Structure 1
Amino acid sequence: MHRFLLTWLCLAISPLLLAGNGMQSGLSEAARREGTLLVHATIDREQVAPLLQAFQQRYPFIRVQYQELNSADIYRRALGNNAASGDVLWSSAMDLQIKLVNDGYALRYSSPQKDALPDWASWRDEVYGTTFEPVVFAYHSQRVAHMPRTHTDLRRMLRAQPGQLRVATYDVEASGAGYLFFSQDSRHNAEFWDLAAALGRNVRFQEGNSLTLLRRLQQGEADIAYNVLGPYAVSFTRHQPQVRWVLPQDYALVVTRLMLIHKAARHTAAAKLWTDFVLSRDGQHVLSQGSGLPPIREDLPRQLGHIDLKRNAANLRPIQVGSGLLVYLDTAKKSLFLKRWRDQLPAATRPTH
């Protein structure tokens, strides 16, 4: 009886495996003819180099042209809807990526790897989360002896020491990721605008990415960096012991870098192979171990420095992938939000753009 069941199961599964292998073989042949893949991404090229190398070893017939761009530039280029838009768009500005999908710029592709992702990490088979990155507080340990562990305590400390602590944070108006972090903060924190007022009175620098914020700490120009991507903080502080970071204990936003294939992609087969590889166990392992980016897959461990993220999941707030991200991109709502943030800033530090 057991032998019969085993034989039946093998006969039932074999066509599915053959179909899957056939699909991958067909993609490989088409990608071989294409020969090229253009990736537009916000991840530093040096950080993602191990993934590029692993993909190249797997598919030596595909020449990857990797262009490191900020999230706003990726979005603007995508609107051109032509070859310059890129084949694969990979960005931490989750709301802008979702807007591209919603406005019809993404190619639908049902990756065979999608079942290993959390339910919240993909949408309509058109966009996929690839990483699991908590947003943290970073600080200069010689200037801040006791760094608050919650948003409320941070607000209280800034209020108690007005003008004494120099804050660096994202340029909320110019950075898509920065606007995403702040707008999501306002959803999860009932006291957000009180915190924004305290931050605003102490802001000295507004930057476009986490590395620049961390360098402000390293150079002694800032004391606290607010809303820093955790993996960057972990990597940076290994070599800069005076710079430290904490995972907020009340809540920590979790960003996933969203990846989509542009509808106008010229190398769609290569783009599908890339998508599958990045989401595969092998690709995710390389991202985790080689690039320091915690994996999105449920079947792999997730670490941020010494912290086991699966054991500390209760206070993590993953930003849901889907149409909910469009709320704060409404023109009127975004203008009101930015004006309210601008009003918190001293005149000397208000953006001129």
Structure 2
Amino acid sequence: MNALRALLLLLIAAPLLAGAAPRSALEETARREGVLQVDSTTDREQVAPLLAAFHQRHPYLRVDYRDLSGADIYRRALRGEHGDVLWSSAMDLQIKLVNEGLALRYSSPQKAALPGWASWRDEVYGTTFEPIVLAYDRHRIADGDMPDSHAALRRALRQDGARWRLASYDVASSGAGYFFFSQDSRHNPEFWDLAAALGRHMRYQDGNSLTLLQRLQRGEADIAYNVLGPYAWRFARQHPQVGWLLPQDYTLVVSRLQLIHKAARHPAAARLWMDFVLSREGQQVLAQASGLPPIRNDLPRRLGNVDLDREAPKLRPIQVGSGLLVYLDSAKRSLFLRHWQQQLAPGRAP
């Protein structure tokens, strides 16, 4: 009897003692590969908890994680200097790589939990749910006085905007800036009227959300237009002087897109990473430890105190697919940039 009990205990404990021992053919292949290379626009510090959780799940894999810009990830992918997984906030460039046949098709078992707009051709997957917000200096603009929509901002800038200094992305040199503004133009029929008002009062054009938020903190700008929501939320927690809000007429939602390069040297490891990032566990780590709202439909989406699920009617997620290629057309891009530069006050065009 004692021997039988010991055997039962051993059988129960065996999976625990085995820990990270491979349990599938995919894991066995990844174990032999031993390495995973990830090129990402998300800085390593922000996703350190995700990397730690992945290592705990697959300790036999060494992850080489490189912080790169979206443009660098794209160029390296074309030159053959890429990692196995390409994870980028430059949604349009990621779709361009897929369109050029450089993504490995992989139907992740996690796909069923994603919104229909968040993947394309089983080759690229959205991983986050990030609203684009308006941020402002609360020392200069009271919470109740901050325009709460694109339309309200346009009216306010026309009426008394001379006293407000604006900052936003450099549309000409920043891929994210151009992408956000071009998507604005698709969703807002009055975009160019708004652009004219923005241009007259634009003081700073920068390359990332953090710089825009720092300008508010230093009192250099009063409003920052088109800021990534997770950055605004995290920054405002440390600097209560900075406020932020979801525009009430519509709020664009972007996602960091992930694909496996067709010439990945460690394709099995890349599949494990893809599945983990999209899994409930991986998404919860991104949400709770990195402040990036989850893409999965079966997890609550929050940004600070804002329940994004309740705000769904005003949210405009950007569809992952060939539609993102429209404004990468060189003729359309040149026309858009020329029109934008015409809106800027003299001396403020790039």
Taking structure 1 as the reference length, the TM-score comes to: 0.90
Q: CA deviation at 1:173?
A: 1.9
- Provide the residue aligned with 1:279 in structure 2: 278
Which amino acid is the alignment partner of residue 297 of structure 1? R
Q: CA deviation at 1:199?
A: 0.9
* Residue 108 of structure 2 is aligned to residue 101 of structure 1: no
Mapped contact 1:71–1:175 kept (Cα < 8 A): no
Write out per-residue CA displacement over residues 49-83 of structure 1, whole angstroms, 9 at most, x where no aligned residue.
11111111111121111111221111111111x2x
Q: CA deviation at 1:174?
A: 1.9
- Provide the residue aligned with 1:12 in structure 2: none
Which amino acid is the alignment partner of residue 227 of structure 1? N
Q: CA deviation at 1:161?
A: 2.7
Write out per-residue CA displacement over residues 142-177 of structure 1, whole angstroms, 9 at most, x where no aligned residue.
112211001011111122234421111111122222
- Provide the residue aligned with 1:315 in structure 2: 314
Q: Which runs of 5+ in 2 are unaligned?
A: 1-21
Q: What CA distance in whole angstroms lies between the structure 2 residues aligned with 1:343 and 1:74? A: 31
- Provide the residue aligned with 1:187 in structure 2: 186
Q: What CA distance in whole angstroms lies between the structure 2 residues aligned with 1:233 and 1:279? A: 24
Secondary structure of the structure 2 residue equivalent to 1:227: strand
Q: What CA distance in whole angstroms lies between the structure 1 residues aligned with 2:76 and 2:211? A: 24
Q: What CA distance in whole angstroms lies between the structure 1 residues aligned with 2:268 and 2:135? A: 41
Distance 1:173 1:24, change over 3 A: farther
Moved over 4 A (4+): none
The structure 1 residue matched to 2:109, chosen from 103, 108, 112, is 112
- Provide the residue aligned with 2:215 in structure 1: 216
The structure 2 residue matched to 1:92, chosen from 85, 89, 92, is 89
Q: How does 1:88-167 map to 2 (within 5 A)?
A: 88-145=85-142, 146-167=145-166
Q: What CA distance in whole angstroms lies between the structure 1 residues aligned with 2:290 and 2:167? A: 25
Q: What CA distance in whole angstroms lies between the structure 2 residues aligned with 1:73 and 1:345? A: 28
Q: How does 1:243-322 map to 2 (within 5 A)?
A: 243-322=242-321
Q: What CA distance in whole angstroms lies between the structure 1 residues aligned with 2:252 and 2:45? A: 25
Taking structure 2 as the reference length, the TM-score comes to: 0.91
Q: CA deviation at 1:347?
A: 4.0
- Provide the residue aligned with 2:15 in structure 1: none
- Provide the residue aligned with 1:30 in structure 2: 29
Q: What CA distance in whole angstroms lies between the structure 1 residues aligned with 2:213 and 2:76? A: 28
Secondary structure of the structure 2 residue equivalent to 1:320: coil
- Provide the residue aligned with 1:237 in structure 2: 236
**Aligned-residue RMSD, C-alpha:** 1.3
Q: What CA distance in whole angstroms lies between the structure 2 residues aligned with 1:348 and 1:262? A: 43
Q: CA deviation at 1:44?
A: 2.1
Mapped contact 1:131–1:294 kept (Cα < 8 A): yes
Q: What CA distance in whole angstroms lies between the structure 2 residues aligned with 1:46 and 1:163? A: 39
Write out per-residue CA displacement over residues 70-115 of structure 1, whole angstroms, 9 at most, x where no aligned residue.
21111111111x2x22211111111111111011111111111000
Which amino acid is the alignment partner of residue 58 of structure 2? Y
Which amino acid is the alignment partner of residue 125 of structure 1? D
Q: Which runs of 5+ in 1 are unaligned?
A: 1-22
Mapped contact 1:90–1:259 kept (Cα < 8 A): yes
Q: What CA distance in whole angstroms lies between the structure 1 residues aligned with 2:137 and 2:234? A: 15
30-39 or 133-142, larger mean C-alpha shift: 30-39
Which amino acid is the alignment partner of residue 273 of structure 2? W
Mapped contact 1:39–1:67 kept (Cα < 8 A): yes
Which amino acid is the alignment partner of residue 45 of structure 1? R
Write out per-residue CA displacement over residues 313-343 of structure 1, whole angstroms, 9 at most, x where no aligned residue.
0000000011111111111111101111111
Q: What CA distance in whole angstroms lies between the structure 2 residues aligned with 1:71 and 1:347? A: 30
- Provide the residue aligned with 1:65 in structure 2: 64
199-208 or 226-235, larger mean C-alpha shift: 199-208
